[in-house]
Amino acid sequence: MSKTWLITGASSGLGREMACRLLARGDRVVATVRREEALADLEQQYDGTLTVLKLDVTDFARTRSVMDDAFAQAGRIDVVVSNAAYGLFGAAEELTDEQIEHQIAANLTGSIQLIRAALPHLRRQGGGRVVQVSSEGGQMAYPNFSLYHATKWGIEGFVESVAQEVAPFGIDFIIAEPGPTATNFGASLVRPAAMAVYDDTPAGEVRRAVDNGSFDIRGDATRTVDAIIAAADSETPALRLTLGSTAYESMSKALGNRLASLQAQRGIALSADRDE
């Protein structure tokens, strides 16, 4: 049976790839983009099954009205995919206040408000699924991506809490955590002016790796999208979906180190309890 999906940030990258895969198999897609003409080719090809709505997720009032319009036009939306995001790339000291505020508005607050806007509709229709596109960077961290990581760690905490709140209404969540994937993500990085003092630091090493192409990108966009769709189609998916060998390896190492550190502090942790 065909489904109806809402996908934000559908003009490029994983969002566009997902829209293409779903439309090709006969599903209906409501795609949001910042530029209305971004999906003109798909609109012509899939007239009747693709609806394109203009949305900048940093416009929170507009997010609510677009969500209302999407459900009004579609009748029912089975899966809401919160995908719109971008990367802010620079050492924390290099970033401007405006860049920090916009990164948080787009990646974190924008996703929070999108989910909040969807929940009343999903409740009224008796349930549904939300896919939050996060990153391996929601569980580990690279130098030079501090604000990007802040948004991804933040949205994962938000989703893990909200998933418990709305489970009684038949609403569940998937947090998709791809590793570095061959999309236009790297080309669209927002980069502040580099400070020479960071040249010989881990931040400088990552900057050079991105610039000279040695930053390892193993993920395939089509296979990543196929795995997300398969999880969203399944009856009882896991909350977190790890995608790509880089993500698996980096997250295994990070989580293992965190667990070992926690266990080593057991005595200190228990010493902070009150006496019975």
Residue 218 confidence (pLDDT) above 90: no
- How far is 83 from 215, CA to CA, in rounded Å? 23
Mean pLDDT, rounded, of the chain: 94
What phi, psi does 80 have (nearest 5°)? -105, 120
Q: Stretch 43-55: mean pLDDT, rounded?
A: 93
Active-site option among 82, 148, 198, 250? 148
Does residue 134 have an active-site annotation? Answer: yes
Average pLDDT over residues 14-41: 94
Judge whether 148 counts as a catalytic residue. Answer: yes
What is residue 219's predicted lDDT score, i.e. its pLDDT? Answer: 76
pLDDT the model gives residue 185: 77
Residue 108 DSSP SS3: helix
Domain boundary assignment for the chain: 4-271
Q: pLDDT value at position 211? A: 87
State the catalytic residue, choosing from 3, 11, 142, 198: 11
Average pLDDT over residues 104-133: 98
Cα–Cα distance, 130 to 133 (Å, whole number): 10
CA 169 to chain centre: 23
Catalytic residue among 82, 134, 135, 146: 134
Q: Which of 111, 146, 152, 250 is catalytic?
A: 152
DSSP string across 55-73: --TT-HHHHHHHHHHHHHH
Answer whether residue 186 shows pLDDT above 80: no
Q: Please indicate whether residue 152 is annotated as part of the active site.
A: yes
Domain covering 4-271, topology: Rossmann fold (3.40.50)
pLDDT at residue 64 in the model: 97
pLDDT value at residue 108: 98
| pLDDT tens by residue, 74-108 | 999 999 999 999 999 999 999 999 999 999 999 99
